[in-house]
Amino acid sequence: MGKKKKTEAKVLSQAILAEGIYDLWLETDLAMDAHPGQFVGVYPTNKSTLLPRPISICEVDRDRSAIRLVYRVVGSGTAEFALYQPGDYMMILGVLGNGFPLTEAAGKKVVVMGGGIGGPPLLQTAKELSGKGDVTAASVTAVMGYRNQETFLADDFRKYSELVIATEDGSVGTKGNVIDAMRQQNVECDVIMACGPMPMLRAIKAYAQEKGIKAYISLEERMACGVGACLGCVCKTKEVDHHSYVHNTRICTDGPVFDAEEVEI
**pLDDT higher than threshold 70 for residue 251:** no
Look at 170 and 4; give whichever has higher pLDDT: 170
DSSP letter (8 states) at residue 52: P
Q: Please give the pLDDT value at position 6.
A: 94
Boundaries of every domain in the chain = 5-96, 109-190+198-213
Q: What is the pLDDT of residues 18-54, one digit of tens each?
A: 999 999 999 999 999 999 999 999 999 877 667 889 9
**Domain formed by 5-96, architecture:** Beta Barrel (2.40)
Q: What is the pLDDT of residues 61-99, one digit of tens each?
A: 999 999 999 999 998 889 999 999 999 999 999 999 999
Q: How far apart are CA 169 and CA 148, in angstroms?
A: 6
Nearest to 123 by CA among 158, 149, 91: 158
| DSSP secondary structure, 194-248, as one string | EES-HHHHHHHHHHHHHHT-EEEEE-GGG-SSSSSSS-TTEEEESSPPTTT-SSE
Q: How far apart are CA 253 and CA 251, in angstroms?
A: 6
**pLDDT higher than threshold 90 for residue 265:** no
| DSSP secondary structure, 124-137, as one string | HHHHIIIIISS---
Q: Please give the pLDDT value at position 219.
A: 86
Q: What is the pLDDT of residues 122-174, one digit of tens each?
A: 999 999 999 988 899 999 999 999 999 999 999 999 999 999 999 999 999 99
Mean pLDDT computed over 236-261? 68
Q: How far apart are CA 15 and CA 130, in angstroms?
A: 26
Q: Please give the pLDDT value at position 241.
A: 55
Look at 38 and 255; give whichever has higher pLDDT: 38
Q: Please give the pLDDT value at position 39.
A: 94
**pLDDT higher than threshold 60 for residue 222:** no
Q: Please give the pLDDT value at position 1.
A: 45
Average pLDDT, the chain: 89
Grade residue 246 by pLDDT with cuts at 50, 70 and 90: low
Q: Is residue 167 helix, strand or coil?
A: strand
**pLDDT higher than threshold 90 for residue 237:** no
Note the CATH number of domain 109-190+198-213.
3.40.50.80
Mean pLDDT computed over 4-23? 96
**pLDDT higher than threshold 70 for residue 116:** yes
Q: Please give the pLDDT value at position 35.
A: 94
Q: How far apart are CA 172 and CA 154, in angstroms?
A: 11
